[in-house]
Amino acid sequence: GVQTSQTRGAGVGAVSVSSSGTFGGNKLTFNANVGDGAGLGLKGGGTVTTAGTPSLVLDFNGVVPFGLLSQKLAAQGLSLSGTANVNVLVRGPATSPVIGGSISTSGARLVDARSGLAVNDLAADVSIAGGVARINRLTGTLSTRGSLSASGTVGINPAQGFPADLSIKLVDGRYTDGRVVTANLGGDLTIKGPLTSAPVIAGTVNLAKTVITVPDKLPGSLAALDVKHKNAPGAVKAQDKALRPPTTSGKGGGSGLALDVTVNAPNQIFIQGRGVDAELGGSLKLTGPASSPQAVGTFTLQRGRLSILGKRLTFTEGTVGFSGSLVPYLNLTATTTTTSATVTIVVSGEATNPKFTFSSVPALPEDEVLAQLIFGRSMSNLSPLQIAQLAEAAGQLAGVG
């Protein structure tokens, strides 16, 4: 097999080439087969005129595995599996040849290792002309649910970083962060810029039913485990390096997918858990690198209530805010009147562990406020069973019950 510094740099193994042909009248006419034992298989040939500036008339077709793109994609935290059927035509002077042809694929799979999102059953038809690959059709299904389709162009000049101008449509998608947020969504996005350096994903995502779940219990304290892989193979080291977030600080420089996405949710943002049941609506903006996006925006209370030991309180105001972190920050307020006080309950903090604060007018200790709220009497007048119920309710609100 043949291997060059260029093929090694592209992550391509040894390539086998078999060829036959003739040379006469300053023209080389040949046929060739190219393979690598890992799925690459091209057949074709043509002519090369050697007088003056070499002139090319070449035609090749066959199968190319997406594994050839692994190193380029790994830099973006991506992996692509499957194969493409290609038909390539090269015409003109060797110094500036015109490349044309077509590419098609079906059953391919794209995975974003950083987020865990995957697109399955990728199918595409692409035509190449004038230095541009035009996506006539691209469809796929999201691993979490839903589908996507895309169209647009990608420049095929490596020196320009394969500049893209793509439009993407998401239909009935589903997203989960694996912790507190599960969202149904759709939207229209664009990808513009050089794919190998810093493309920008922009557009609008519309949320349908979205649930922010407040955990009923906090996880136990876990010490971080310092696990090291000794004598790791080169491929494992390369993957680990690709998946680690960049250590650079600040907003400038760097590479990778960047976001400029508006998320709209006029309603159906539900907060549930620890007695909270509320609906909100609003919008937020996602910016920054896709590997560590920044979320800024607010969802405002539309309706909601807090249930404590069968007592239901109506939230009178509230927001869910994002000020950089993707973890929602809750700030919900409920006010009610008992026989002896006006009681205010505030639910605030990150959705993973919000705090429940009780206050009253006239001012009373928190346990006294809770006793007045639930049983309508002072702590000193509660039975042992009622005191136990009160302690259990306080523990549940704190996430330790």
Sorted by sequence, the CB contacts under 8 Å of residue 27 that are 6+ apart come out as: 47, 48, 49, 50
Alpha carbon 155 to its chain centroid, in Å, reads: 24
The stretch 160-166 carries a mean pLDDT of 93
For position 36, what pLDDT does the model report? 81
Write out the two tokens for 277.
């049941």
Strands (E), 242-390: 258-273, 276-289, 294-308, 311-324, 329-337, 342-350, 355-361
Q: Which of 242-251, 274-283, 331-340 has the highest mean pLDDT?
A: 274-283
Which pLDDT belongs to residue 73? Answer: 80
Give the pLDDT score at 256. 74
CA atoms within 13 A on the CB side of 89: 9
Which comes out higher in pLDDT, residue 332 or 3?
332
Residue 11 has pLDDT above 60, yes or no: no
In the numeric block, the tokens 């810093």 are attached to 198
Assess contact for 166 and 109: CB atoms under 8 A.
Answer: no
The percent of residues in the chain predicted with pLDDT above 70, rounded, is 87
Average the pLDDT over 169-186 and give the result: 92
Q: How confident is the model at residue 149 (pLDDT cuts 50, 70, 90)?
A: very high
Q: What is the pLDDT of the chain when averaged over all its residues?
A: 86
- Which residues are 48's β-sheet partners? 28, 56
272-313 pLDDT tens trace? 999 999 999 999 999 999 888 999 999 999 999 999 888 899
Cα 335 to its chain centre, rounded Å, is 39
For residues 388-393, average pLDDT: 88
Q: How far is CA 64 from CA 40, 77, 87, 282, 322, in A?
A: 5, 21, 10, 46, 44
Q: What share of residues in the chain are helix, strand, coil (percent, to 5)? A: 15, 55, 30
- pLDDT (0 to 100) of residue 181: 92
Per-residue pLDDT for 227 more than 50?
no
For position 123, what pLDDT does the model report?
A: 98
Please check the confidence at residue 228 and state whether its pLDDT lies above 50.
no
CA pair distance 389, 355, nearest whole angstrom: 19
Mean pLDDT of 368-383: 89
Mean of pLDDT values over 192-209: 93
Q: Write down the pLDDT at residue 248.
A: 40
Q: Is the pLDDT of residue 244 over 60?
A: no
Give pTM, 2 decimals: 0.78
Q: How many residues does the chain have?
A: 401
| Positive or negative: CA dihedral 225, 230, 235, 240 | positive
